[in-house]
Amino acid sequence: MIAGLAILFSFLAVGEGVSRLAGIPIPGSVLGMILLAAALKLGVVKPGSVQAAADALLDNLSLLFVPAGVGLMLYFDLLAESWLAVLAAWLPSTFLVLTAVGVLQQRFERRREARG
Can you tell me the distance from the alpha carbon of 85 to that of 72, in angstroms, rounded to the nearest whole number? Answer: 16
> Which helix (H) or strand (E) segment is 15 a member of?
helix 2-22
Backbone angles phi, psi at 83, to 5 degrees: -65, -35
CB 33 within 8 A of CB 11: yes
| Average pLDDT along the chain | 94
Q: What pTM, to 2 d.p., does this model score?
A: 0.67
How many residues does the structure list for the chain?
A: 116
Helix (H, G, I), strand (E, B) or coil at 116: coil
Each residue of 2-50: pLDDT tens digit?
999 999 999 999 999 999 999 999 999 999 999 999 999 999 999 999 9
Whether the pLDDT of residue 95 is over 80: the answer is yes
Whether the pLDDT of residue 58 is over 90: the answer is yes
